[in-house]
Structure 1
Amino acid sequence: MSGIAMRLPYLLRFFALLLMLPLLAACASGPAREAASAPLTFIVVRHAEKATDDPENPSLSAAGLARADALAQRLHDVPLIAVYATEFRRTRQTAHPAATAHGLPVEAYYARGPAGEVAAQWKQRHRAGTVLVVGHSNTVPDLVAALCGCAAAPMDETEYDRVSIVRVHADRPATLEVQRYGAPTAR
């Protein structure tokens, strides 16, 4: 048997491997790679409509409970990894349906804490995934601005339907998208 004939099985394996390299490269850019490059996303909302039962720490009104359910429904297919709400009843009640639907606890954060420090802690704690944050009309714009490093519009006391979506990218500046959910509120 000649030398080439003896080496033929090895040469065939070598060429087969060369043909498979493009397929292996395609696998490297599949879902696992996309998940690794997916941004850390913060969904930031104000608490839903409040009742007049307690001037210091009110519950949600019937409209507020409906809005909290609408938020949970909107986030039904979103893979939440954490849910944060301030120490007040109305924020926790707003977050509760979405947290329950995802099997997550509602973690408290201090409403009057510096927005920049809170945002930095969340970014340090979470590197990827989607985080729901429920705050107040006077705290949501500062939190959004701290999370995205951009300007956020002030929030009127009567505005309950704003959803601020902040995407923190590893390779470029964060982005902000503002949407609405539930029943429209007066502006």
Structure 2
Amino acid sequence: MSASILTVPDRIKFDEAIELTQSFLSQLKTNEFASDRIQDFVAALLQTANGARGFFVTYLTSPDPVCDEPRAEIIAGLKAHPDIAADLLVKNIAMSTAQQLYHQRRNDPEMVASSATVAARTTKIVHQLNLPLIQDLCRELVDTIHAGTGSYSDFLTRWGYDEEQKNAIAQAVSKLIV
């Protein structure tokens, strides 16, 4: 598949975003994807919630080391849609942190390592983006955990995190607040 074929549909579905991101990563790994198109491709994916979710789930969980050090062009593409990027990155830190505990409890070191990789990659992206909005969302998440209510209540309830997981999330997210 050539880079010219990788175009993002206006109404992209979640599974389509995953497929496109997988193709993108394959081309990135083999230097088939033109550097001057990376930013635009990532920005196009982040225009919609489905595209952004598909990008992050694929990029952050990929076994490929090409995802361990985000390229400047990828960071620039994420900055094109800071609201969507910030929201999903904060939630990814929370989810990967909680999942590490879940997998530790199930004695699954392979999945613990996988969740730790997601957390580490997300943290690198957060630091490189350096968006004030991420700081604000991190504070909101920590405040929600400490108060037991707030803007992240629905998120925490939806995933059924217990107190130990919430405390771990608060610690992890607090480290991102400058």
TM-score bracket for this pair, using the shorter chain length: under 0.3
More strand as a share of residues: 1
> TM-score if structure 2 supplies the norm length?
0.25
